[in-house]
Amino acid sequence: MNVAAAYPETAKPGANMVVEDRERHLFRVARRAFTDPTVLEEERRQIFDRCWLYLGHGSEIANNCDFVTRTVGGRELIFNRDRGGAVHAFLNTCPHRGATVVRESKGNALSFRCFYHGWSFNVNGRFASRFDEGNYGKDHYEGGCADLQQVARLENYRDFWFVNFDANAVSLADYLAGAKDFIDMVADQAEAGMEVIGGGQQYIIKANWKLLAENSVDAFHGFPTHST
């Protein structure tokens, strides 16, 4: 039985999509909460544009000029170290016409170059192209307007790096609160420290993040689905 069948009013636009009836021992979530694009867009504005989101571990960019590209909170990002070892997180979009700059999933590079018009950037995000007179004029590129845009906030705890798209957000340490104890347990498992190795798992589903999260904590499907 789904929510719309038990409670027809939840099928109406704007109606509550979660029904909790303790007297009847019912808890129902409307299916469109997992698939409706407008729901996801609202969650991005109200949640993911404001909270700290995990980007990656420092060991994934262990060497200077290492980079990986990630999609975080609906935004394409470049997670990298510059020549001096400083860690950055840039929006993976050219400030000129918005084309994707880095199209590889990972690598090591001294600079990034947009394929569309050839704009180049140092690994610290600074605009690095040199154009002849008559292009836009050198004044066009001054003041940082042609640099890659960095995320509003980038902080780490125990070399776990997080981004926040809200410049006024609380610090990462305050946000993690008691969760830091669990991160410590993971980071302190070996005296030599922690390293992320191997590749990743990618999922393509016709739903938003909630379905994958719910599947991850659903122990009931383990035996029938993964018995082999």
Q: Count how many domains the chain has.
A: 1
Q: Does a structural domain hold residue 69?
A: yes
Q: Does a structural domain hold residue 8?
A: no
CATH number of domain containing 87? 2.102.10.10
What phi-psi label fits residue 65: left (phi over 0), alpha (psi between -120 and 50 degrees) or beta? Answer: left
- Give the rounded percent of residues in the chain with a pLDDT score beyond 90: 70
Tell me what pLDDT residue 190 has: 85
- Each residue's pLDDT tens digit, 139-194: 777 778 899 999 999 999 999 999 999 999 999 999 999 999 999 999 998 888 88
Closest CA to 179 of 57, 54, 88: 54
CA 162 to chain centre: 9
Tell me what pLDDT residue 184 has: 95
Task: Let me know: does 159 contact 187? Beta carbons within 8 Å.
Answer: yes
Which range has the worst mean pLDDT, 11-25, 28-42, 173-187? 11-25
pTM score: 0.84
Q: Does a structural domain hold residue 171?
A: yes
Task: Let me know: does 110 contact 65? Beta carbons within 8 Å.
Answer: yes
Tell me what pLDDT residue 14 has: 44
Where residue 9 falls among pLDDT bands split at 50, 70, 90? very low
Where residue 79 falls among pLDDT bands split at 50, 70, 90? very high
Q: Does a structural domain hold residue 35?
A: no
Q: Does a structural domain hold residue 91?
A: yes
Task: Let me know: does 80 contact 61? Beta carbons within 8 Å.
Answer: yes
Domain span holding position 80: 53-187
Cα–Cα distance for residue pair 203/63, rounded to 1 Å: 28
Q: Does a structural domain hold residue 94?
A: yes
Q: Does a structural domain hold residue 92?
A: yes
Q: Does a structural domain hold residue 19?
A: no
Cα–Cα distance for residue pair 123/63, rounded to 1 Å: 13
Q: How high does pLDDT run on average in the chain?
A: 89
